Amino acid sequence: MLIRMTGISRHYSEWPALRSIDLEVATGDFLVVSGPSGAGKTTLLRLIWMGDRPSKGVLEVAGYRSDRISQRDLPVLRRKLGIVFQDFRLLEERTVFDNVALPLQVAGTSPRVIRKRVFALLAEMELSHRRSSRPHELSGGEQQRVAIARAMVAHPVILLADEPTGNLDPEVSRRVIDLLLEINRSGTAVVLATHDPRQVPAGIARHLYLDKGELVDPGAWDGFGD
Amino acid sequence: MDSVIEINLLIRAFNEMLLGLRRKLGPFLVTLLMVSLSFMVFDIFIAVSWNLQTVLREEQENVGVEVFLEPSVTQAAALTLADLISTMDGVRSVYYVSSDEAELVFRADLPDQAGLLDLMGSSFRLPASVQVSLHTDHRTDDRVVPLARTLSGMQGVEDVIYGEEYLPGLTSAVNILARLVLLAGLVLAVSLSLIVANTVRLAVAEKSLTVEIMSIVGAPGWFVRLPFIGEGIVTGLLGSAGSLLFTAVISLVLSPTVPHRFLPGQWIAGVLLLGTCAGTIGSWIGMRSGIPRPRA
């Protein structure tokens, strides 16, 4: 099991961001976590990449337990994950190539291997012609593809996507979702947080719904019925 | 394999530091100037102190004891006494000055006073003495006074002179100056550390997204921290080097009117070391307060 959450809760002061979440994600799964704003989707993903720790419960990701992982092992875990954000979080002062290469650079990969892998991935993402551009010179769709390329360059076992289409128009959003589906087909588990569950058909992905920090029945949330 | 990865990471971290410095060259140069000017005040202070200390130490070099002998003491007895004194603690060397030699020295050193000797008549003899030279660490009043007291009590000794009027003042001046330099060094190291800490904290804030993304994509903690520490070290080292340069220029300009010497090599190395340490400590403080940590 790649991700296992047992009775996970996260409180900020007295406010409960997540309450008693039980969840399992296996290799090759595509999990869509939906819910309105403030439902706890981002907190859930943040717990998975261990940018935050649960207040209660047991969380295990790629063999590492959140209550036992050392500072030394944290980077090792994160190299097994790819993370995509709604606001892309690309480094403005670096080129597309350098943004995509970053996970390999910080892992100590040799420059020769980095060049080979990044060029191949940029070609796959149809971004080769943009490799020397800065993020602000790209369209929103291109920026998100660069962010996905950065997340995928180190061959992660889990891809976490937090509202990756939130800033994109419908056509570009569809292409980004197609890209995530393609990544999933290659064996990478994908956890997608979105406010619009219809982006991924139920037959392809497993759907979970969060409301006020709790997993709820699909029918109980209006967003799905729209 | 692991060592290859570590080397690649180290090279990458070094490149990140250079990249960071290049991107904000303007603010970095301003910080460097600020550090140099702060350090220059210290450099001037220690240059003045060092010159003063040199003068005081030269004075201390002259600290010795003159043991004047009674006229009845024969040359053989005086030499025996000199031998005895040479074995005493803190004594570096002794030299016996006979009455005849004392007169020759007097006439040579004070030619305009030589007439006084003639006025005293041919029966007058300057007293013979034993000149006692001391080891460097025995030239302080707390060591010289007990020695002088012992010498005064010896048979055949008429009087002992050791500069009792100025020696206590000289000793305390040397000690105070040494403490002042140490205190000024500490104060400056702290203030410089704070300047560097603030600079690095601002740099961390400016690069917060880079720090966050590096951490998210799996950069080891040391890899994220190293460029900031490196920046602090470079700032401290170059800042103190710049201050030495400024001070050297001032020293050159002043040298025709104010005779002095520039700092010796060891002190220059000390200033550079102090700058480097202050830069390292400052960047560490700035980084710890600037880099966000996972919420508990």
Q: Do B174 and B157 fall into the same domain?
A: no
What is residue A159's predicted lDDT score, i.e. its pLDDT?
Answer: 97
Tell me if chain A has a CB within 8 Å of the CB of B293: no
Indicate the pLDDT class of residue B296, thresholds 50, 70 and 90.
Answer: very low
Say whether pLDDT at B171 is over 60: yes
- Percentage of chain A lying above the pLDDT 70 cut: 96
Per residue in A52-86, pLDDT tens?
A: 999 999 999 999 999 999 988 999 999 999 999 98
The 8 Å CB, 24+ separation contacts for B155-160 are B156/B69, B156/B70, B156/B72, B156/B73, B156/B77, B156/B78, B156/B81, B157/B67, B157/B68, B157/B69, B157/B70, B157/B81, B158/B68, B158/B69, B158/B70, B158/B127, B159/B68, B160/B65, B160/B66, B160/B67, B160/B68
Q: Do B176 and B53 fall into the same domain?
A: yes
Determine the average pLDDT of the residues in B185-190. 79
What is residue B176's predicted lDDT score, i.e. its pLDDT?
Answer: 83
Determine the average pLDDT of the residues in B171-193. 79
Q: Which of these, B7, B15, B21, B8, lies nearest to B231 by C-alpha position?
A: B21
Average pLDDT, chain A: 91
What is the maximum span of chain A, computed from C-alpha positions, in angstroms?
53
Determine the average pLDDT of the residues in B134-142. 81
CATH of the domain at B131: 3.30.70.3040
What is residue B175's predicted lDDT score, i.e. its pLDDT?
Answer: 79
User: Which residue range(s) make up the domain with B178?
Assistant: 2-58+170-290
What is residue A104's predicted lDDT score, i.e. its pLDDT?
Answer: 95
Say whether pLDDT at A224 is over 60: no
What is residue A24's predicted lDDT score, i.e. its pLDDT?
Answer: 94
Per residue in A119-171, pLDDT tens?
A: 999 998 899 999 999 999 999 999 999 999 999 999 999 999 999 998 888 88
Is B283 a member of any domain? yes
Say whether pLDDT at A4 is over 90: yes
Tell me if chain A has a CB within 8 Å of the CB of B246: no
Say whether pLDDT at A225 is over 50: no
Q: Which of these, B69, B149, B148, lies nearest to B102 by C-alpha position?
A: B69
The domain boundary residue, chosen from B128, B162, B196: B162
What is residue B199's predicted lDDT score, i.e. its pLDDT?
Answer: 73
Q: How far apart are CA A213 and CA A43, in angstroms?
A: 9
Q: Do B157 and B280 fall into the same domain?
A: no
- Number of Cβ within a 10 Å radius of residue B67: 28
Q: What is the DSSP letter of B264?
A: P
Q: Do B286 and B176 fall into the same domain?
A: yes
Q: Do B95 and B137 fall into the same domain?
A: yes
Indicate the pLDDT class of residue A223, thresholds 50, 70 and 90.
Answer: low
For residue A50, what is the nearest residue in chain B, using CA coordinates? B294
Is B264 a member of any domain? yes
Question: How far off is chain B from A97, nearest CA to CA, in Å?
Answer: 15
Q: How far apart are CA A129 and CA A132, in angstroms?
A: 8
CB contact under 8 A, B210 and A53: no
Structure tokens at A179: 């890209």
Determine the average pLDDT of the residues in B148-159. 89
Per residue in B42-99, pLDDT tens?
A: 888 888 888 887 887 777 777 778 899 998 888 899 899 999 998 998 888 899 999 8
Give Cα separations from B207 to A91, B194, B200, B204, B212 (angstroms).
10, 20, 10, 5, 9
Tell me if chain B has a CB within 8 Å of the CB of A113: no
Average pLDDT, chain B: 84
Tell me if chain A has a CB within 8 Å of the CB of B17: no
Q: Do B53 and B70 fall into the same domain?
A: no
The domain boundary residue, chosen from B123, B145, B162: B162
Determine the average pLDDT of the residues in B135-150. 84
Instruction: Give the number of domains in chain B.
Output: 2
Is B268 a member of any domain? yes
Q: How far apart are CA B73 and CA B81, in angstroms?
A: 10
Option in B5, B23, B220 nearest A93 (CB): B23
Q: Do B258 and B111 fall into the same domain?
A: no
The domain boundary residue, chosen from B162, B178, B197: B162
Question: How far off is chain A from B238, nearest CA to CA, in Å?
Answer: 26
Per residue in A147-160, pLDDT tens?
A: 999 999 999 999 99
Under 8 Å between Cβ of A81 and A191 = no
- Which of A74, A79, A102 would best serve as a mutation to test chain B binding (most B beta carbons within 10 A)? A102
Tell me if chain A has a CB within 8 Å of the CB of B146: no
CB contact under 8 A, A106 and B223: yes
What is residue B58's predicted lDDT score, i.e. its pLDDT?
Answer: 78
What is residue B55's predicted lDDT score, i.e. its pLDDT?
Answer: 80
Tell me if chain A has a CB within 8 Å of the CB of B218: yes
Q: Do B221 and B129 fall into the same domain?
A: no
Q: Do B181 and B279 fall into the same domain?
A: yes
CB-count burial class (<10 Å; 0-12, 13-18, 19+) for B133? middle
CB contact under 8 A, B9 and A108: yes
ipTM over 0.85? The verdict is yes
Q: Do B78 and B158 fall into the same domain?
A: yes
Q: Do B265 and B143 fall into the same domain?
A: no
Q: Which of these, A60, A98, A56, A93, lies nearest to A213 by C-alpha position?
A: A56
* Residues, chain A: 226
Say whether pLDDT at B295 is over 60: no
Query: Bigger pLDDT: B228 or B200?
Result: B228
Per residue in B247-294, pLDDT tens?
A: 999 999 988 888 888 888 998 999 899 889 888 888 888 877 766 554
Say whether pLDDT at A226 is over 50: no
What is residue A120's predicted lDDT score, i.e. its pLDDT?
Answer: 94
- Number of Cβ within a 10 Å radius of residue B203: 26
Per residue in B204-238, pLDDT tens?
A: 777 788 888 999 999 998 888 888 888 889 988 99
Q: How far apart are the first and last CA of chain B?
A: 35
For residue A71, what is the nearest residue in chain B, using CA coordinates? B221
- Could you tell me which residues are beta bridge partners of residue A11? A16
Determine the average pLDDT of the residues in B15-32. 84
CB-count burial class (<10 Å; 0-12, 13-18, 19+) for B110? exposed
What is residue A222's predicted lDDT score, i.e. its pLDDT?
Answer: 58
CA atoms within 13 A on the CB side of B219: 25
Say whether pLDDT at A180 is over 60: yes
Q: Do B46 and B84 fall into the same domain?
A: no
Is B295 a member of any domain? no
Say whether pLDDT at A32 is over 80: yes
